[in-house]
Amino acid sequence: MRDAFIELDGVEKVFDVWRRTGFMKRERHRVRAVDSLSFTVARGEMVGYIGPNGAGKSTTIKMLTGILTPSGGRLRVAGVDPSRERMRLAHRIGVVFGQRTTLWWDLPLIDSYRLMHRMYRIPAARYRENLERLTELLDLGGLLDVPVRQLSLGQRMRGDIAAALLHDPEVLYLDEPTIGLDVVSRTRVRDFLRRLNAERATTVLLTTHDLRDIEQLCSRVMVIDHGRLVYDGALAGLHEAGESERTLVVDLERELPPIEAPAPARVVRVEGPRQWLAFPASASAAELVAKVAARYPLVDLSVREPDIEAVIARMLGPSGGAPEPPQERAGRTPS
């Protein structure tokens, strides 16, 4: 095992939430957002961190950045306790939230970068060098003087990623970095992250609902549900555990009876000359396409990936994947 850069040992986070239960009455509930969570991430690893809504992903990231203090357990990033030494750690980590921006909305992009230069006290030469490199790699050249509010979502995201990397962080937390982006922007962001990880060995923890982000970037994926780690391994293993399926959509030259597909592939829908074939996500699409093409007159085809939520839901079974984490009633007080 390479040297552990992120270490969690039995980490817990419990929130006290007050719920109104009647006139002048409130009840205290304990929401166990993260429950006995243990894992390590080695320096230079790029790991997907996924789970259903409310599973505890953001809470984990917030504890890793020091914004939240764990209720129990031990947590270290680069040997440092984030909640105790948040400012010291801030110089070593970068964070990108796809749904929010860290940039100043009314200022040109370059002004946000200048402010970060000062906030992080980045030495002038290093700032210039990083700005030049990131501007080139993320294609921001024509955008530096544009106010952030005028940027498209894809441009803004690239601007945010550059902002998170100006101070050369050793670890990057990415929360939905491709959400809402078109295909071109998504590809650009993924290409950049792959390159960043390969060239600078930046450790990356990636939260996403897009399975293709994980597929293209991460050799390892961790699944969290109800605050607990329920899977840690390769994406292929997750597909097997969830028995997830991809769909091959084929357009035939003309309407034909359902294709006799090689098992376990099977036709699940027919609409005129178009047919949908479900097959295990861990199996090769190329093999299936070759077999179908050898027997049927194909005009066009596409492969649809399974939805990440569906894969997790299948893996967790009928009792898993519920949106609410376990709650304990902790007390009752009049308000």
Ligand X SMILES: Nc1ncnc2c1ncn2[C@@H]1O[C@H](COP(=O)(O)OP(=O)(O)OP(=O)(O)O)[C@@H](O)[C@H]1O
**Is residue 56 close enough to count as binding ligand X by CB under 6 A?**
yes
C-beta of 51: minimal distance to ligand X in Å? 5
C-beta of 322: minimal distance to ligand X in Å? 10
Helix, strand, coil tally for the chain in percent (to 5): 35, 35, 35
Q: For the segment 289-328, give every residue that binds ligand X (CB under 6 A).
A: 325
Retrieve residue 235's tokens: 């994406």
**How far apart are the C-alpha atoms of 32 and 327, rounded to whole Å?**
6
**Is residue 31 close enough to count as binding ligand X by CB under 6 A?**
yes
Q: In this complex, which beta carbon is closest to ligand X, that of residue 52 or of residue 242?
A: 52
Of the CA atoms within 13 Å of residue 310, those in its CB half-sphere come to 10
Q: In this complex, which beta carbon is closest to ligand X, that of residue 57 or of residue 190?
A: 57
**How far apart are the C-alpha atoms of 116 and 120, rounded to whole Å?**
6
**Is residue 177 close enough to count as binding ligand X by CB under 6 A?**
no
C-beta of 334: minimal distance to ligand X in Å? 21
For 255, residues 6+ apart whose C-beta sits below 8 A from its C-beta are: 272, 273
C-beta of 311: minimal distance to ligand X in Å? 15
Q: For the segment 76-95, give every residue that binds ligand X (CB under 6 A).
A: none
Of the listed pieces 49-57, 101-109, 132-140, 253-261, which binds ligand X according to CB under 6 A?
Answer: 49-57
**Is residue 169 close enough to count as binding ligand X by CB under 6 A?**
no
**How far apart are the C-alpha atoms of 113 and 207, rounded to whole Å?**
25
Of the listed pieces 52-60, 147-155, 157-165, 214-222, which binds ligand X according to CB under 6 A?
Answer: 52-60
Question: Residue 277's beta-bridge partner residues?
Answer: 248, 267
CB of 280 closer than 8 Å to CB of 263: no
C-beta of 294: minimal distance to ligand X in Å? 43
**Is residue 36 close enough to count as binding ligand X by CB under 6 A?**
no
DSSP character string of 163-217: HHHTT--SEEEEESTTTT--HHHHHHHHHHHHHHHHHH--EEEEE-S-HHHHHHH
CB of 82 closer than 8 Å to CB of 89: yes
Q: In this complex, which beta carbon is closest to ligand X, that of residue 15 or of residue 120?
A: 15
C-beta of 287: minimal distance to ligand X in Å? 35
* Residue from 26, 30, 54, 306 binding ligand X (CB under 6 A): 54
**Is residue 53 close enough to count as binding ligand X by CB under 6 A?**
yes
Per CB under 6 A, residues contacting ligand X are 15, 17, 31, 33, 51, 53-59, 325
